[in-house]
Structure 1
């Protein structure tokens, strides 16, 4: 099988578009070529890079989730870095006036609530208003694009962790996502996409032949990216999602959980692709920092069979059933992550949620088909 090349790996094919222009770039350490050279360094070497724009976690990846980022100067390249994750999430008109073309190169994880998507969405709107073209250097989806999961986001839950009616696991590359929102929501951006080479929708991360570079501090492994689809919902609860440990989103726990009982109850569901192990951990930061937590770790034994959204729903259900101390500590955030209030309110039980999610996600897959760049 031919190795996959991301958009940055074919950047020389776009010299006609890039040469002679003042370039602004949205990127971070996940933006690298096959040889692990930073995209911003490649663009600065071969073209006229005049501005950098920092998403969540910063241009060099040195900020934690949610941490505000300030404007700065990149020491290595000596160009200004403008924050897109703090008090300002949009590109100011004056900043756009100083560039001729904006380049986007970030590794997404295939989850609706990953903020890089909406940094791109805002940038497309800003570019459209000011007539600045935007080039997306497309990247593989580490979850693959063949499977979609989860309910659609409702309008009342729109936020910077979800703006459009798409499933939790939406089955598109970031370039396809940009094509979809540009057309379906009338953004009107002059959009260019540098597609991946040799990529197919059903390819897993391991099949791509590419190195894993953590797209953000708490997605350290391909397993954490896949399980994130189902366990990110715990951000809205008093249960630790594993932040502050070496296995964020892979292990879930709290001081009040009976780990062995939870493991036994989950095993009864016989969910495909995952084995649950009772575990105990002490986070170094985040929820319960310095406290002993009890829970489970999800061990993926078949990534193609695993449906992480389904697994996450049953995990949440069993913790709620078992633990009287369980609480929704950030209910609005939980609703935004899930897409509506049906899970938190109990308005739908888990089988009903999963049945609706299957209908809605499959419908989305078909509706997004006109914007695909890659075949099955």
Structure 2
């Protein structure tokens, strides 16, 4: 007999009359949706980005709420306090400010165990995403939802903006055989959805089947590409220091799968791209000649203090976004890698592996093969458009704004 999962997806409609501009979901939850957490033992999945509009931590807000008992914290990649580097395992501990136990979701376990959920009545997930498929926070959310479904615990997601906007979608849709913790589901690299919308998509479109309550923001527009302006910018991870980083990341994040430095170990990660073998002026001239929309390339030299090419002088470029609405980060990232393959075929390389990491990031093998074969970014983009159009037709059912 087929198993039928009943989805309880509730969207809280804010009722406050005054217009305060953009109001994050955590503020709306405590103003208009407190019944979801009042009188309950709450487990909170968060990190430093979990703040209200006055930069007060969601941990502190819930811990101080008279009707809430905060009993557990859960940390994603980089930890509850954001002090772990990319890929570093995060341990379980106790929060020094509140004394609440902290369980790691980026160590031995990637989703809460039954023991971690003992004594929890409701799980709240309050983390800022950056709008790129290969960021890990959406999959921590998916894992939390799966564990909550098994335990019969509802999940509340106070929504936050997509800092690179909610209109444009871009890049190849993940092929299922390339699923990983940097891409679990068949979505494109730039998905144009908020984390609350992704939760709805994962829950219903990809059949997680949790009891899910998304608390929408008030005052967010889909066409807003203004990261860090509508709400204060708090680093989502150690190498996402500025709003500009988030804007370029869906494209230059792919550089992590190559022997180029993606700028880790500098003050401008993912904006500075280069390697010791690159002539900065030549690369900048080649990229600017492409006349890509919304971006210019400045020749740059830099020496990373850690990560790839640490201590070595690298030539390369810095991306300067001149028109955020016109800028297409994924197309730009592919064009940059195609240019480097053309200019330095004997030096540029994708990182090796039984499954190259680039393939895991991009969600297939054909993009890498196309770059090596000398195809242009326009050729590659044309090949991903049919899958992107199918995703857009599905995506519209889960949008909130």
Q: Does the pair score TM above 0.5?
A: yes
Structure 1 counterpart SS, 2:62 = helix
Partner of 1:340: 364
Call closer, same or farther: CA 1:222–1:207 in 2, change over 3 Å. closer
- Indicate which of 239, 242, 255 corresponds to 2:260: 239
What TM-score do you get using the length of structure 1 for normalisation? 0.97
* Kept in 2: contact 1:171–1:365 (CA 8 A): no
User: d(CA) in 2 for partners of 1:185 and 1:301?
Assistant: 37
Superposed displacement of residue 207, structure 1? 8.9
Can you list the C-alpha shifts for 1:293-334, whole angstroms capped at 9, x where unaligned?
100000111111110111111100011111121111145221
The alignment's C-alpha RMSD in Å is 1.4
Partner of 1:302: 323
* Kept in 2: contact 1:281–1:293 (CA 8 A): yes
* Structure 1 runs not aligned, ≥5 long: none
Can you list the C-alpha shifts for 1:67-111, whole angstroms capped at 9, x where unaligned?
001110000010100000012111010111220100000000000
**Higher mean Cα deviation, 15-24 or 158-167?**
15-24
User: d(CA) in 1 for partners of 2:194 and 2:240?
Assistant: 18
Partner of 2:182: 161
* Kept in 2: contact 1:102–1:135 (CA 8 A): yes
- Indicate which of 199, 217, 222 corresponds to 2:238: 217
Superposed displacement of residue 356, structure 1? 2.5
Aligned length: 374
Can you list the C-alpha shifts for 1:173-217, whole angstroms capped at 9, x where unaligned?
000100011111221100001100011211122596211111111
Is 1:363 the counterpart of 2:384? The answer is no
* Structure 2 runs not aligned, ≥5 long: 1-18
* Kept in 1: contact 2:26–2:158 (CA 8 A): yes
User: d(CA) in 1 for partners of 2:319 and 2:207?
Assistant: 41
* Kept in 2: contact 1:199–1:208 (CA 8 A): no
- Indicate which of 166, 174, 179 corresponds to 2:200: 179
* Kept in 2: contact 1:31–1:107 (CA 8 A): yes
Is 1:23 the counterpart of 2:50? The answer is no
Structure 2 counterpart SS, 1:93 = coil
Structure 2 counterpart SS, 1:228 = helix
* Kept in 2: contact 1:170–1:361 (CA 8 A): no
Structure 2 counterpart SS, 1:238 = coil
User: d(CA) in 1 for partners of 2:33 and 2:367?
Assistant: 46
Call closer, same or farther: CA 1:198–1:330 in 2, change over 3 Å. farther
Partner of 2:281: 260
- Indicate which of 59, 74, 77 corresponds to 1:53: 74
